[in-house]
Amino acid sequence: MTATLGFRKRHTWHVRAENQGAAGPWSTTASFVSPEGGYIRGNEVFDPLYNGATVGERMGATTFIPDKGIRLDTNTSYVQYLIPQTITSGEFSMEVEGLRANAPGDKSKVFGMSNGQGDFITNRYRVDIQYRGTGGFPPNAITFRALYGDVGDLDVRYEPPTQVRLASVYALNASTTYYWKATWGSEFRVTVKEGGVNGRTIYDYGVPSPNGTYAPAPHYAYLGAPSGRSGVESASIPGVIYRNVWIGARPRPQ
């Protein structure tokens, strides 16, 4: 018999011997607290990160900040997750700290997804969620791009129109926690909340995605993003701290 234990919960136990219908006395009751931890299982990933460990793979210079999460130390740093089962419709969400207005960079990536590990920018299943730096157009804009199977086919490229991007400029504060969520399927939508998962919504924009299917195989997801042909100025954002990452075909559990 097996059971999945919740994280950071106290469990009590006792045992007794049984043989041919006869049972001995129960042992003294004991207890233990299950560890904090995450998992990659099927089409789900949960990674707390504030516990000083990750179920993903650390790429480049990263640092665990006690009780806060993992920090990307350079714009070539990122954390990658290989998801065993492709998620064609799902959610990728996390808490993020350290984002600030007027930071260096261009089309800087908060998080992303792709098919395999080739060039990220030319990947036909590239998803990148951006908070643009001073070199972006415009600086400090929240925006995104999602490709459902083809780099050059505009019918399967989903992103906000220029006028929405120009109106999506936010002066984020490095000391504030922001909850970022992307959902995909028949619509691709990005939501950002100030103050965490129950905070005030500051960005919420979706694009219907009727053409193509998001079907990367293998399915990789990233905190930050690998640098591709666009260069490191369009990759990760140094100093950003991530925690409580959820990726799954179902919404984030409470």
Average pLDDT, rounded, for the chain: 94
Three-state DSSP class for residue 68: coil
pLDDT band at 206 (very low <50, low <70, confident <90, very high): very high
pLDDT for 26 equals 84
Give the tokens for residue 53: 């460990």
Is 37-248 CATH 2.60.120.200? yes
* CA pair distance 197, 78, nearest whole angstrom: 22
pTM of the prediction? 0.87
pLDDT in tens, 31-48: 866 656 899 999 999 999
pLDDT for 31 equals 82
What sections of 66-166 are H helices per DSSP?
162-166
pLDDT for 21 equals 77
CB burial of 12-49 (b: ≥16 within 10 Å; e: otherwise) equals eeeeeeeeeeeeeeeeeeeeeeeeeebebeebbbbbbb
* CB 71 within 8 Å of CB 219: no
pLDDT band at 29 (very low <50, low <70, confident <90, very high): confident
pLDDT band at 207 (very low <50, low <70, confident <90, very high): very high
Q: What residues does each domain of the chain span?
A: 37-248
* CA pair distance 84, 184, nearest whole angstrom: 18
Q: Residue 146: which region, alpha, beta or left (left: phi > 0; alpha: psi -120 to 50)?
A: beta
